[in-house]
Structure 1
Amino acid sequence: MDDCEDVSIDMQKLAHTLSEKLETLHHLSKDCSIYRVAEPKRCLNPSHFTPQMVSIGPFHHGKEELKPMEEHKQRYLKCFLQRTKVRMARFLSFIKERETKLRNCYAETIRNLGSDEFVAMVLVDAVFLIEFFLRFYNRNFRTDDDRIFGKPQLRKEIRHDFLLLENQLPLFILNDLFDLAKTATYEDAFYENISFVKITCFWLEDRVVKPLDKNSLEIHFSKAEHFLDLIILCLQPSQSRAQIMLKDQNIPSVKELHQAGVKFKPAAGSPKSVLDINFNQGILEIPYFKVYGNTERAYRNLLAFESMHGYKKNFNDYIIMMACLISCPKDAELLVENEVIRLGNTETVPTFFGNLDRDCTLASSRFQYSGVVTDLQAYRKLPWHKWKAALKQNYFNTPWASISVIAAVILLLLTATQTVSSLIAL
């Protein structure tokens, strides 16, 4: 019996309609690297994932609250075009040829933008970033009517939006458009010794995570998909660690370790990554760090990208480690005294890492600091280390205290000697 005879005409029509929808599904690329943050995570901290001043890319394009910045984008595009002999139509054609590749960089299909609107959006947003970095790199590129660089606070607020996961453009199109503009300029001196890699690294260096050195940025630039990817690539640990199971997840705090006699030092030399936390011979070395006003926002987007892109969770582990080490203001104070934290409010640092820690997951079998934590736990359990630390911290913590203890010991010895002498005389 034919299958069609077993179902109603209405169901056949419904099946036909659904089949047509299946045929119109867009191809999903495995090369995507720009994602939307899951709604449950966004609801907890909406301002940390949503641009406040400027939209970059398709996800937030056209939002009413971000439209005031569109005129500034167009002004930047006008200035950019005035320096090059390459015509706007050539730039648009260049982007059009790469439209499929660009759309495939996004984890969801961009349905709200047709081809022409998508291409125009990419040109305007890409040139805005290029022009912003040029003006940040060299004041000679700035104009008298530049409201963004004329108002420092506005510039700071805008640049924070550049490090949001949903507010990214692929690096390849930024780099290629910059190189295309350089092929024919009105004055060769405009772009002399300047590359997009150079101006981008100049902006990123020392802006988000310390240490994040220029050499590391330049090395990883060609492999990076966008700004967040570039930072994550630079944050990989500079050393391979033995993978061992973390049997005890109770990571001691700085205060607890201090009481056990552990000493704290900023990482020796110039560590290649802020993740390079090491413990050796009673000394815990931590690369110094600084917390800015919007550091939490940037860190949260880095964590979201690392997780969604399927990278090994090295940054996730770093946040967990630091949240456990700095669980109260006293922990932060001890690190300030030992110059691990150069600047920052000791009251806010524990809250900063504690807030971020809620987005992290500790995997005992893959935690990169398992060896460090195990060694710290073992060191802390030895009674001799506690006794020695207590003696030093309670009785030899200042020169005067040391002198007092020595004087008391001498007095005790003299008294004992006198007593023995008296007994002998009897």
Structure 2
Amino acid sequence: MPKERKERGDLECLSRIKQLPMHDLPLNRLRELGRDNPREPAVRPYRYRMAIDNLQQRYVQGLLGNQQNATARFEEADRFKLILAKSFLHRSDINLGALVSKLDEWLPAPWTSKYLWGYEEPLSPRQSSLLECLFTVEVIRRYTCGDSQDTADGLASVGLFAQARYDLIVHGNSPPFKALEGIFYLAFPSYEASPVRNFMKLCIAFFNESMLIATDSQASAAVNHLQQQMSSGSEIKDLLDLVRKCHAPLFPRQPPSDPMKLTAMRKANYLEEAGMSIRPASNDTSVCSIHYREGRLEIPKLKINNQSEHLLMNLIQHELEHYPNDSFINDYLHFMDSLIDTEKDVDVLIHNNILDNYFTDSKGVATLLNKITSQAPLLPHTYYYNGISEAVNAYCSIPRHRWKATLRRDYCSSPWMIASTIAAIILLVLTLIQTVCSIISAIK
């Protein structure tokens, strides 16, 4: 009986959302959508959690600024969410009864109980969570499959997609992926069988601008690898987890010789001077798939822009909570930070076509990585790149590699330099021959 009462209330809520006018939806109309239920705590999904640990707390406070600005931003976002939820219900013509019957399976209780709800007369937790899911699915649908009908309300012109993308990759802010995928396929069943436009690929396309992926080939490799993970039983928790899995290495962790010893990588400028060849990896590999072959360090191309700090901070927090023993994003950032200390190291990576910097100057990139990794722990026994660090440092410790690098840099760096070097050697040989001949003549 309680379940039937819940489903009846959810159906009434969805029906009222569907009947609202598309224009001028003030916040106080939200009070009409749900019933007060004193037995259920008021919650606020799709919100910044105010304190998970010190790392997230400091970062969240920096994002929100003062409370007045944060409240105004939340209220405006809530208005947009209601408009988009209604738009989704109209465009999809979804079966509301089938949708409500799936809520207990798609929306587990832990997700709906983490957040604070801000309305004076809030919706029930199930209804507010459902509203968040409808909004999220509609934003992704509009961005990837939208048409002229989706531009009538003008939401795209106010930066809707960029803001939603920014908010949805906050750790704990996204609804469960299972719920989003289920709602989408219930509304658009033809997409489920499509190899090109299934919901997972639409989500990847939506977040592409925020990812570290720098090339289309890397994006294709990420999709293929993610599909392999899914076929082997891996589960996507939420949208941030989806973004994380897109950056997963394509090779197993290389075990270090000493599991309790952490080997730090030399800086990029030092490696180049020591004879190490730093080159971009092939384009069909993931960002975190770093390889080392004798004298050659291959690093996939990396994109840094003004969204990277926000993404990386939340990915690290997500890993610390859900994947403490498989934190390859955290390990990757520590590896890159070990390569980069100053702007000279950044310039080496840019010159070698490894880093695409859309952020600031080279010093800004170095500061960004140093800042992020200084707040994230690194465990030696799970460090993904310990074996690579050991091999690279061992190569650089051999003097002849540095001598060869110095010879190439100082005497063979250009055709003119090579020609000058050859001419100098020929002149030296001729001078030596002349000297020997003079000595022989003098002896005779």
1:334 corresponds, among 326, 333, 348, to 348
396-405 or 341-350: bigger deviation: 341-350
CA distance in 2, matches of 1:230, 1:321: 22
1:237/1:276 contact within 8 Å kept: yes
2:179 counterpart of 1:163: no
- CA-CA distance at 1:107 after TM superposition: 7.6
Which residue of 1 is the match for residue 32 of structure 2? none
Which residue of 1 is the match for residue 137 of structure 2? 130
Show structure 1 runs of 5+ residues with no match: 1-23, 27-33, 53-59
- Matched AA of 1:379: Y
CA distance in 1, matches of 2:267, 2:392: 10
Which residue of 1 is the match for residue 270 of structure 2? 256
2:421 corresponds, among 405, 412, 420, to 405
CA distance in 1, matches of 2:143, 2:183: 18
2:60 counterpart of 1:46: yes
2:134 counterpart of 1:120: no
- Matched AA of 2:243: I
Cα distance 1:202–1:119, how it changes in 2: closer, same or farther (>3 A)? same
Matches of residues 14-163 of structure 1 in structure 2 within 5 Å? 37-46=51-60, 63-86=71-94, 91-92=99-100, 94-95=102-103, 97-98=104-105, 101-105=107-111, 108=114, 116-140=123-147, 142-151=149-158, 153-163=159-169
CA distance in 1, matches of 2:243, 2:355: 21
How far does the alpha carbon of each residue in 1:44-100 deviate from its partner, in whole angstroms, 9 at most, with x for none?
A: 323577699xxxxxxx9xx553111222222212222223444656644543x448x
1:74/1:124 contact within 8 Å kept: yes
Cα distance 1:48–1:229, how it changes in 2: closer, same or farther (>3 A)? farther
Show structure 2 runs of 5+ residues with no match: 1-38, 42-47
CA distance in 2, matches of 1:43, 1:76: 30
- Matched AA of 2:270: E
2:223 counterpart of 1:214: yes
Cα distance 1:419–1:207, how it changes in 2: closer, same or farther (>3 A)? same
- CA-CA distance at 1:136 after TM superposition: 0.8
2:84/2:135 contact within 8 Å kept: yes
Matches of residues 165-204 of structure 1 in structure 2 within 5 Å? 165-182=171-188, 195-204=198-207
- CA-CA distance at 1:115 after TM superposition: 9.5
1:325 corresponds, among 339, 346, 362, to 339
- CA-CA distance at 1:291 after TM superposition: 0.6
- Matched AA of 1:136: Y
- CA-CA distance at 1:369 after TM superposition: 1.1
2:405 counterpart of 1:389: yes
Give the total of aligned pairs: 377
CA distance in 1, matches of 2:368, 2:224: 29
Which residue of 2 is the match for residue 417 of structure 1? 433
Which residue of 2 is the match for residue 13 of structure 1? none
2:263/2:386 contact within 8 Å kept: no
Any runs of at least 4 consecutive aligned residues in structure 1 with deviations exceeding 6 A, and if so which? 109-115
Q: CA RMSD in A?
A: 3.2
- Matched AA of 2:371: N
Cα distance 1:253–1:126, how it changes in 2: closer, same or farther (>3 A)? same
- Matched AA of 1:275: C
Cα distance 1:309–1:383, how it changes in 2: closer, same or farther (>3 A)? same
Any idea what SS the aligned residue of 1:347 has? helix
Identity %: 24
Matches of residues 268-307 of structure 1 in structure 2 within 5 Å? 268-271=282-285, 273-307=286-320
- CA-CA distance at 1:284 after TM superposition: 0.4
Cα distance 1:200–1:248, how it changes in 2: closer, same or farther (>3 A)? closer
Cα distance 1:274–1:139, how it changes in 2: closer, same or farther (>3 A)? same
- CA-CA distance at 1:197 after TM superposition: 2.8
413-422 or 228-237: bigger deviation: 228-237
TM-score (norm: length of structure 2): 0.75
Cα distance 1:248–1:143, how it changes in 2: closer, same or farther (>3 A)? closer
276-285 or 329-338: bigger deviation: 329-338
- Matched AA of 2:212: V
Any idea what SS the aligned residue of 2:108 has? helix
Cα distance 1:424–1:402, how it changes in 2: closer, same or farther (>3 A)? same
195-204 or 256-265: bigger deviation: 195-204
How far does the alpha carbon of each residue in 1:229-259 deviate from its partner, in whole angstroms, 9 at most, with x for none?
A: 1222333322123312264634201101001
How far does the alpha carbon of each residue in 1:157-200 deviate from its partner, in whole angstroms, 9 at most, with x for none?
A: 332111001311111111222233246xxxx9x99955433422
CA distance in 1, matches of 2:321, 2:428: 67
Any idea what SS the aligned residue of 1:297 has? helix
CA distance in 2, matches of 1:191, 1:316: 33
CA distance in 2, matches of 1:403, 1:262: 25
CA distance in 1, matches of 2:293, 2:50: 41
